[in-house]
Amino acid sequence: MSLLATNNLSAFYGDFQALFDINVSVAQGETVAIIGANGAGKTTFLRAVAGALSTKPEMVMFDGRPIGHLTPHEVVRLGIAMVPEGRRLFPSLSVEENLLLGGHSERKGPWNLKRVYELFPRLRELRHLPAPALSGGQQQMAAIGRALMANPRLLLCDELSLGLAPVVIRDIYQCLGAVTAEGITVVLVEQDINRALDASVRFYCFQEGRLALSAPTKNFDRSAITAAYFGL
């Protein structure tokens, strides 16, 4: 049975429909990529799963139970954590306080400050600095660490590569590999297609709020992706 499944998920911003009948399913332990152009509905999809956009209950199923109607903090308690687009660290909190805040829900699990600092040793040195004093890559590490502190079963990552140098992006994805090796299920949203495909076993390509293509990543013809991506 899949850990996360959406059933004809539709989502609205007021009268504007941003998602149309999206069916995505993610098995326990999988890393799945969601790709698509700007405005394709990728972030909206993550927000709907995380509870920030309210939908009909059974449109989002997590571990077999409907969660579409739950609020974000209830969803976190069930084990879904988010690395939001643009990091969104709390500027008036130190790095360590940001991490501790990620553990606010007090879910039990393997992740704690010590483990996060083992994954990102640099953060330990920077832990007393205010979050805005960090470089973009360090902030992204802190944002991932903050999400891990919630001990999630499902990690939602929104545009990890946004605004970062290629060498930094490589480091971040290496660390993400270490996380998924421990069995955390990951949904990756990326505009950097190659990066997303390398890190995932399957992908879904969104286009204007609809599902355009989905397939296993391995050996997939990238020209077909290009077609689905741009709607050619």
Partner 1 sequence: MEWLNILIQGSLLGGIYALFAIGLSMSFGIMRLVNIAHGDFIVLSAYVALVVTQGTGLDPISSLIIVVPVMFVVGYAIQRGLLNHTLSGGLLPPLLVTFGISVIIQNGLLAGFGAYTQRLHEGAIETASVQIFGGISIGVYPLVVFAVAVFAIASLQLLFYRTGLGRAFRAVSDDADTAELMGIDNRKLYALALGIAMIFTAIAGVLFAIRTIFDPAAGPIRLILAFEAVIIGGLGNMWGTLIGGVVLGVAQAVGAALSPTWQILAGHIAFLVILIVRPSGLFPRTRD
Applying CB under 8 A, the residues found at the interface with partner 1 are: 50, 52, 71-73, 76-77, 81-82, 84, 88, 90-93, 97, 100-102, 104-105, 146, 150
Nearest CB to partner 1, comparing residues 90 and 230: 90
* Ramachandran angles phi, psi of 99, nearest 5°: -65, -45
Nearest CB to partner 1, comparing residues 104 and 170: 104
- How far is Cα 101 from Cα 150, in angstroms, rounded to an integer? 9
Contact 186, 176 (CB under 8 A): yes
Angle at 144 between CA 139 and CA 149, to 5 degrees: 120
**Minimum separation from the CB atom of position 124 to partner 1 (A):** 19
**Minimum separation from the CB atom of position 41 to partner 1 (A):** 18
Nearest CB to partner 1, comparing residues 41 and 79: 79
**Minimum separation from the CB atom of position 175 to partner 1 (A):** 20
Q: Which amino acid is at 2?
A: S
**Minimum separation from the CB atom of position 115 to partner 1 (A):** 18
Query: Residues, the chain, total?
Result: 232
Nearest CB to partner 1, comparing residues 146 and 153: 146
Q: What is the DSSP string of 155-207?
A: EEEE-TTTT--HHHHHHHHHHHHHHHTTT-EEEEEES-HHHHHHH-SEEEEEE
**Minimum separation from the CB atom of position 107 to partner 1 (A):** 8
- Other CB atoms within 10 Å distance of the CB of residue 179: 19
Nearest CB to partner 1, comparing residues 158 and 190: 158
**Minimum separation from the CB atom of position 76 to partner 1 (A):** 4
Angle at 180 between CA 74 and CA 196, to 5 degrees: 95
Residue with structure tokens 């109607």? 69
Nearest CB to partner 1, comparing residues 57 and 91: 91
